[in-house]
Amino acid sequence: MAVIKKEENKEQVNSSIGGPSPWVFVLVLFLVYWGINYLDNNSGGFNAKVYAPHKNATAVANLKVQKSPEELAFESGGRVYRGICAACHQPNGMGSENVGYPPLAGSEWVLDQSPDRVIAIINNGLQGPIEVAGKTYGTVAMPAQGGALSDEDIANVMSYIRRNSDWGEEHNLSVITTEQVSEVRAKIADRTSAWTVQELIDQFPDSQ
């Protein structure tokens, strides 16, 4: 009887010890599921180019960098230049001596601290000879662009040609504002014909 009683006690002890509670397995499964989702959402696809809190390389590539007003004006002016001006003055700003289109790169007209004369040229066009960097151009008249360009367009393209460092280190002048363009256009609002060099000098004597 003592042996039987001992065996029963042993079975009761083993039964009380038993296996792990089912809730332990549930908890483990939950933690595994949570861990997988956490890694998926925060690892950036294990891509070294991805930085938190972005989920993947596409999200990083689509980020928009905040640009300064000067940078935006330069980019906008570049689009105007390529669309209208580059056909004659060339993408590199060197013009075409054979045809008679003056360069803008290194031009004393462009690099004048006062932008008034060039604003007027863009607005009304230019006819007759013009000297740039010691050479004479102007066998072909420059057509007026004022009807196609807003004050902002002219300000931006002026900023582009004055600040395009690819054209030379001297192209580091200040940004031209819409207000500057508006002021010049108001002064010459009655003019309907293209300028000559002498007329520009007479109209804007303060420019170099």
The stretch 127-132 carries a mean pLDDT of 96
* Token reading at 150: 């807003």
Paired residues of 135 in beta bridges: 132
Q: What pLDDT, on the 0 to 100 scale, is given for residue 5?
A: 53
Pairing of strands 135-137, 130-132: antiparallel
Q: Is the pLDDT of residue 15 over 60?
A: no
pTM of the predicted model over 0.95: no
Q: Is the pLDDT of residue 43 over 60?
A: no
Was domain 69-203 assigned CATH 1.10.1200.10? no
The stretch 41-52 carries a mean pLDDT of 52
Q: What is the CA radius of gyration of the chain?
A: 37
Listed residue (117, 101, 125, 120) closest to 194, CA to CA: 125
If one counts every other C-beta atom within 10 angstroms of the C-beta of residue 94, the result is 15
Residue given tokens 């330069």 in the structure block = 74
CB 96 within 8 A of CB 90: yes
Q: Does an H or E element contain 33, and which?
A: helix 22-42
Highest mean pLDDT among 42-51, 65-74, 160-169 belongs to: 160-169
Q: Is the pLDDT of residue 183 over 60?
A: yes
Within 13 A of 56's CA, how many CA atoms are on the CB side?
3
pLDDT band at 31 (very low <50, low <70, confident <90, very high): confident
Q: Is the pLDDT of residue 22 over 80?
A: no
CB 119 within 8 A of CB 154: yes
Domain range list for the chain: 15-61, 69-203
**Higher pLDDT, residue 166 or 35:** 166
**Which amino acid, one-letter code, is at 205?**
P
